[in-house]
């Protein structure tokens, strides 16, 4: 206790130095809290956008559909299936089940005027599709697929690209199941602007009943059966549970995380990058701590000599300097957490416009607009503990150097 | 009764042509309760002698025995333990810890001996500060005390653990004559009241007058040893 009191007073003995060293730690802590929250916020929005607009909690398709769609740029319409009653019943029994919809997905070239653009066409049943996906809520012009007419809904960026508006004509050219070119023609009936950039640029929605005969597939055929659950936390476990029931079936169920494996990798890279930045800041902080302890030991050489002359053990002197370094870590960590909390408060309340930095869709991140940084108190605790531990560890060698000083040399400051 | 015995003690610093013989075959016996001064010109070996007696250093040859224990051959941890419990130090430049109050500086000496009983610590510290006449100023930090007051805190710090021996290396060198007299009188009073053995080095003839035994060192040898 006495050592702790002495260490605490020594920390504030050179306020300027403590402040300078602490400020590096403050920067490390605040930056980590900000980046961590930014990462979590961005990944949360990205996954939510994937779930709400692209792949819901569980996606069921033929195993060879997944394999081929990953290998080829062209979606394999041939790898379709007709959902059996037993499969539908099994899906409905999943924990947290909310809704399901079948879609036929195929590749096409969207043509208007002199231009054409490769798109992913999602032939959907509007009624069930709207129970699983949120696209219809983001309609900015026209309506989202009524009845079974030939109209399509396109994303706003695709509409901008072709300078198309609701009611204007388009042609979609694709290869049907027999290998022949075929087209779907009609009017644009709706335009959506979703938070998922890919949907806005490369996805076209069409009625499945209208598309199926033109592609040459069965009326009930789908390429994927999309399932929405109550909670994304259930996705992996329920996907695995479904896989168990599918057994030797050629179908495969996978969660949105497996479907968005690029995002999962990006998430891991993001965390890696955050921790790398943290390590850099901490390295600078550790060098600061080392120099602070060395300077302190040089300045207090006579004091160390006196303590040793009085019989204070080397381990006690070592502890004293380590406690002082830990104290600087506590000051830096606490101030960093405080500043981090202020940043997160604003970030959490007002959000952060990602579009001012770059178009994240260009690097495959399904996020646009404003993101909000969540509070993650574990991150605060983690970084605080890390900073204090790093400060203490950084002080060991210089503290040992101070503790082993010859008392006579130290008293005479030789 | 003998407290400390030095027999044929040599201390040499450096090697080869740069060797300096600080002490040459010193024999000295100190009894319990002595109030002894070690004096001599600068570089004569006074501080080296005090360092060896205080187990801060080891002799090159010869033996230093403290209450039948050969302290000259102890390792640094044993030497530290010996100093912690048996030796009090008073330094020329006080060497008080600036961030601690007078009370805490004295308390520090007790804390490092491992005493945990706070009542006992409080009573010993206040008693000792009272003895040196600083009970009114115990909550002041060193920068709020005069040189004489600081040295009295250092005396209290050296004595609070009731060591068998107190070593003072030129304790009045930084003080004016009036304050020097006050400090040396405090040390003498402590010697009488607590029967603590004091050995101090000095250049000041006025301070020497207080010593009951005077040991003169010249060129690393004891040239004169007078009891009064």
Residues of B in contact with A408 (CB under 8 A): 51, 56-57
Contact check, Cβ <8 Å, B57/A316: no
Of B56, B98, B99, the CB nearest to A408: B56
Q: Is this prediction's ipTM beyond 0.90?
A: no
In this predicted structure, what is the pLDDT of residue A412?
75
Look at A105-119, A135-149, A391-405 and tell me which has the smallest mean pLDDT: A135-149
Of B54, B89, B99, the CB nearest to A6: B99
pLDDT band for position A147 (50/70/90)? Answer: low
A 366-405 residues with CB below 8 A of B? Answer: none
In this predicted structure, what is the pLDDT of residue A111?
93
B103 in reach of chain A (CB within 8 A): no
- Work out the mean pLDDT of chain A and round it to a whole number: 87
- Work out the mean pLDDT of chain B and round it to a whole number: 89
Number of H helices, E strands in chain B: 7, 10
Q: Is the dihedral of CA A55, A60, A65, A67 positive or negative?
A: positive
Q: Which residue has the tokens 């995002």?
A: A263
Contact check, Cβ <8 Å, B95/A411: yes
Of B51, B107, B109, the CB nearest to A408: B51
pLDDT band for position A366 (50/70/90)? Answer: low
CA-CA-CA-CA dihedral for B87, B90, B94, B95, to nearest 10 = -20
Of B56, B97, B107, the CB nearest to A303: B97
Contact check, Cβ <8 Å, A314/B56: no
What's the pLDDT tens digit per position in B71-81? 877 888 888 99
Extract the tokens encoding B21: 């013989």
What's the pLDDT tens digit per position in A60-70? 999 999 888 88
DSSP assignments along B196-214, one per residue: -EEEEEES-HHHHTT-SEE
Smallest Cα distance from B228 to chain A, Å: 31
Q: What is the mean pLDDT of residues A7-34?
A: 86
CB A281 within 8 A of CB A24: yes
Contact check, Cβ <8 Å, A310/B93: no
Q: How far from B61 is each of B10, B26, B30, B52, B54, CA to CA, in Å? A: 5, 10, 19, 11, 16
The whole-angstrom separation of Cα B103 and Cα B64 is: 34
pLDDT band for position A360 (50/70/90)? Answer: low
The whole-angstrom separation of Cα A174 and Cα A100 is: 27
What's the pLDDT tens digit per position in A225-255? 999 999 989 999 999 999 988 877 889 999 9
**Percent of chain B at pLDDT exceeding 70:** 100
Residue length, chain A? 414
B162 in reach of chain A (CB within 8 A): no
Say if residue A353's pLDDT is above 60.
yes
The chain B residue lying nearest A317, using CA atoms, is: B112
CB A151 within 8 A of CB A187: yes
Residue length, chain B? 228
Nearest CA-CA partner of A113 in A152, A189, A168, A155: A168
**Percent of chain B at pLDDT exceeding 90:** 37
In this predicted structure, what is the pLDDT of residue A363?
62
B74 in reach of chain A (CB within 8 A): no
Residues of B in contact with A10 (CB under 8 A): 99
Q: Enter the DSSP assignment of A149.
A: -
Q: What is the mean pLDDT of residues B61-67?
A: 90
The chain B residue lying nearest A14, using CA atoms, is: B99
The whole-angstrom separation of Cα A93 and Cα A133 is: 20
Q: Enter the DSSP assignment of A373.
A: P
The whole-angstrom separation of Cα B193 and Cα B185 is: 12
Q: H or E stretch including B164? A: none
Contact check, Cβ <8 Å, B83/A311: yes
Reported pTM = 0.74
Three-class SS of A150-187: CCEEEEHHHHHHHCCCCCCEEEEEEECCCCCEEEEEEE
A2 in reach of chain B (CB within 8 A): yes
CA-CA-CA-CA dihedral for A275, A280, A284, A285, to nearest 10 = 0
A9 in reach of chain B (CB within 8 A): yes
Of B99, B100, B112, the CB nearest to A312: B112
In this predicted structure, what is the pLDDT of residue A283?
87
Contact check, Cβ <8 Å, B107/A2: yes
The whole-angstrom separation of Cα B33 and Cα B44 is: 25
Smallest Cα distance from B112 to chain A, Å: 6
What's the pLDDT tens digit per position in B178-208? 888 888 888 888 888 888 899 999 888 888 8
B107 in reach of chain A (CB within 8 A): yes
DSSP assignments along B53-116, one per residue: HTTSS--SEEEEEETTEEGGG--HHHHHHHHHHHEEEE-TT----TTS-HHHHHHHHHHTTT--
Domain ranges within chain A, ordered by starting residue: 2-49+263-411, 58-256
């Amino acid at each position: 206790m006495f050592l702790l009191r002495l260490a605490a007073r020594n920390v504030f003995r050179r306020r300027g130095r403590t402040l300078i060293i602490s400020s590096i730690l403050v920067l490390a802590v605040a930056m980590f809290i900000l980046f961590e929250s930014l990462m979590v916020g961005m990944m949360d929005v990205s996954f939510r956008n994937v779930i709400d607009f692209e792949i819901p909690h569980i996606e069921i398709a033929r195993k060879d559909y997944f394999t081929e769609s990953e290998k080829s740029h062209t979606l394999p319409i041939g790898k379709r299936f007709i959902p059996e009653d037993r499969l539908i019943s099994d899906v409905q029994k999943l924990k947290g089940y909310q809704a399901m919809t079948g879609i036929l997905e195929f590749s096409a070239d969207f043509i208007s005027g002199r231009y054409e653009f490769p798109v992913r066409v999602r032939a959907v049943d509007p009624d069930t599709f709207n129970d699983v996906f949120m696209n219809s809520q983001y309609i900015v012009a026209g309506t989202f697929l009524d009845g079974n007419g030939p109209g399509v809904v396109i994303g706003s960026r695709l509409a901008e690209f072709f300078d198309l508006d609701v009611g204007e004509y388009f042609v979609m050219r694709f290869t049907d199941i027999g290998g022949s070119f075929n087209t779907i023609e009609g009017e644009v009936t709706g335009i959506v602007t979703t938070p998922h950039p890919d949907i806005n640029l490369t996805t076209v929605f069409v009625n499945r009943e209208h598309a199926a005969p033109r592609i040459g597939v069965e009326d009930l055929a789908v390429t994927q059966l999309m399932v929405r659950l109550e909670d994304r936390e259930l996705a992996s476990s329920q996907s695995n549970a479904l896989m168990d029931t599918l057994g030797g079936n050629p179908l495969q169920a996978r969660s949105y995380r497996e479907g968005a494996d690029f995002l999962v990798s990006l998430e891991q890279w993001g965390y890696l990058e955050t921790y790398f930045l943290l390590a850099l800041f901490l390295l600078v902080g550790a060098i600061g701590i080392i120099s602070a302890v060395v300077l302190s030991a040089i300045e207090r050489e006579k004091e160390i000599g006196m303590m040793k002359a009085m019989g204070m053990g080397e381990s006690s002197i070592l502890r004293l300097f380590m406690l002082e370094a830990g104290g600087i870590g506590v000051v830096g960590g606490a101030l960093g957490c405080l500043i981090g909390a202020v940043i997160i408060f604003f970030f959490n309340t007002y959000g952060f416009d990602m579009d001012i930095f770059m178009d994240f869709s260009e690097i495959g991140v399904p996020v646009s607009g404003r993101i909000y940084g969540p509070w993650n108190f574990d991150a605060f605790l983690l970084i605080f503990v890390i900073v204090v531990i790093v400060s203490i560890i950084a002080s060991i060698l210089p503290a040992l150097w101070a503790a082993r000083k010859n008392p006579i040399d130290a008293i005479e400051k030789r | 009764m003998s407290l400390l015995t030095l027999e044929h003690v040599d201390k040499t610093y450096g090697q080869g042509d740069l060797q300096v013989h600080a002490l040459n075959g010193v024999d000295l016996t100190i009894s319990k309760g002595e109030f002894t001064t070690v004096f001599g010109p600068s570089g004569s070996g006074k501080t080296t002698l005090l360092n060896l007696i205080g187990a801060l250093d080891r002799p090159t040859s010869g033996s230093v025995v403290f209450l039948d224990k050969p302290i000259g051959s102890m390792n640094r941890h044993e030497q530290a333990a010996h100093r912690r419990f048996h030796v009090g130090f008073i330094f020329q430049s006080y060497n008080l810890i600036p961030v601690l109050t007078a009370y805490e500086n004295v308390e520090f000496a007790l804390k490092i001996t491992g005493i945990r009983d706070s009542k006992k610590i409080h009573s010993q510290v206040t008693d000792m500060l009272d003895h040196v006449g600083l009970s009114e100023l115990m909550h002041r930090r060193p920068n709020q005390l005069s040189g004489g007051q600081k040295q009295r805190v250092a005396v209290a710090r050296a004595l609070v653990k009731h060591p068998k021996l107190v070593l003072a290396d030129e304790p009045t060198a930084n003080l004016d004559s009036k304050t020097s007299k006050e400090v040396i009188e405090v040390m003498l009073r402590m010697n009488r009241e607590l029967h603590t053995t004091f050995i101090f080095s000095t250049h000041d003839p006025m301070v020497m007058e207080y010593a009951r035994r005077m040991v003169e060192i010249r060129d690393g040898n004891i040239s004169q040893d007078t009891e009064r």
